Every structure is written in C-alpha cells, then in structure tokens.
Structure 1
Amino acid sequence: DLRGLMSALWVENNRHWDELADQNTLTQLLGTGKPTQREYLGCLVGDVAGDTLFVRRLVHAENLKQLQFAVAGDCDGVERLVGTFHTHPYRADAAGRAVKERGLSAMDLKTFAAAPDMVTMVMWDLDSLDIATKAGDGSVRHPVPLAVR
C-alpha cells in the first residue's frame, strides 16, 4: 500500500537517525558533520473527483539529488502527476539528541505555492504526515485532513 511504501522510504533514508551523538545542527547545516540521513523526493500520481484528490501511486523522482537537509529532483513526464512527497530527517540539537522537524517548513510551503502541484506531503516519522493542497483559485491550504482508504 501507499502508506507502507512511504514508511519504507522514510526508514531507508533515515536508518542512521540514532548516530547523532557527536553532531549538532550547525555542523550538519554547514556540511561539516557526517551525513547520517538523507531527504527523499517522490512524485505523487493520482486524480481528482469532485472536491476530492486521490493519490494512487508514488514514483521516484528523476535526477534525484539527496542531501542531509535538502533534496532535488523532478517529476517532469510523470503522467497524472498531482504533487510531491518528501521526507524530513532528524536534526541534532546542541547535545547531539535527535530532534524531529515536524511538518512542512516555510520553505516547503513557499516552493509548493510556486509549483503547479495540487498537493505536497512530508513524512518526518513512521506515523507522521503533513499535507498541503491548493484550492481551485491556487491558494495554499495548510494543514489539510487526510483520509487513508
């Protein structure tokens, strides 16, 4: 199922989340710390029926460039593209403890607002998703409810 695939991708890209003891956010952001995790980007395939957006599949983004706290890739050429999915890794606080980045960041929402996508999703833990959608007029709606069927 789709949620299971998203969870598996999160686990795969964050499998060293507990190796942050000698790291902190500053060294990680400067790129001088060891990369313990990577962000992931996928393309969401689906359709719209009435006022409901259905996400049916997740495919890997092309030209994927994965960094510790950034990801790039493209979904050009993906048929029935409705949006993107990405992961947020844990960050290390000053004491090297894992800190979750909960939800879509301000940069995530700004990037989404400028994109033609109808939905963007982020996962920051196995049971944690945040979603933004666009209204018919293109305005961003965040947060939005999710129903798993």
Structure 2
Amino acid sequence: MTTYDSDRDDVIRAATALQIRSVERDACLERLRHYRHKRLLLESARPGSLELFGLIAAVGYFVLDKTIGESFSDGYKNSELHRRLKEFFQRLIDEKALKIAESIRRVIASRKIQAQVRALPPADDNSPHIIVIDISPVQKPSDAEELMTLGRALE
C-alpha cells in the first residue's frame, strides 16, 4: 500500500509540475491502479541476519511515460516533455526512498516491535537506495512465568 500511495503522489506531483492535462493525469492514475500489487520484486534472501534484496518498480514513471507517449506517438521520445519527465523522477527518487522508510517505520511501531529503520543514500548515480531495518530481539518470558497457573497469576 505504501508504494502504491507513493506512486499516486508521484503521478499527481509530476502532472502538476509538468502541466500535464487532467485527462492524461486521470488516465495515468487509472493505469497505475492495475499495478497496485505488482511493485516489489524480492531478488534474494541471505541466511544469518535476514537480508532481503528487492526492487521497487518505477511504476509512476512507467505509467506516465507510456500514457503520454501514446498520446504524442513517435516524436515523444525526443520531446522536451519526455526529458523533463525523466529529470523529475530522477530528482524524486531520494524523497521516495525516505517516504517508504518512514512508512515502514510507522508500521513497525504500530505493531509494538522495536526496530530502527534507515534509508541510506546511494554510493553513486548507478547505485540503488537501501532501506535498512534493524529489528531488536523480542524478550520472551522465562519458562517459570509461562507455566504459571491462572490462580497464581491472579494473586
């Protein structure tokens, strides 16, 4: 849900910033809905400390690019609008990683799990953004506390 909300916000912000017509914006938002549950691709997991490696698809950019591109046809790829759209989403990616990290932080906090969530900046222009989640171990009651009778617990 976080990535879908983030992509909707991206499309609306891009449409406003780039002065995209409302009919095209609405078409993009409708297309975006079709990708609602197709955003995160987990590439691998490693044993030991759990490490999941995944990709969040650039659905907002993809939908805008395809929808606007269809309306302009062949000349679109060389257009000023296409260049500005790419630049807009390149600037947006840092903000998007922070927004997703904050959403993960809220979900973890609502489940009363102790964790630290950090969004790391990319090492260079070709490196991915990394979100690190350090989860503290859950404290389990001792065996004696678990086996306590109801009568004793109510004393």
TM-score under structure 1 normalisation? Answer: 0.32
Bigger radius of gyration: 2
Q: Higher strand share goes to which structure?
A: 1
TM-score under structure 2 normalisation? Answer: 0.31
Higher relative contact order (CA 8 A, sep 6+): 1
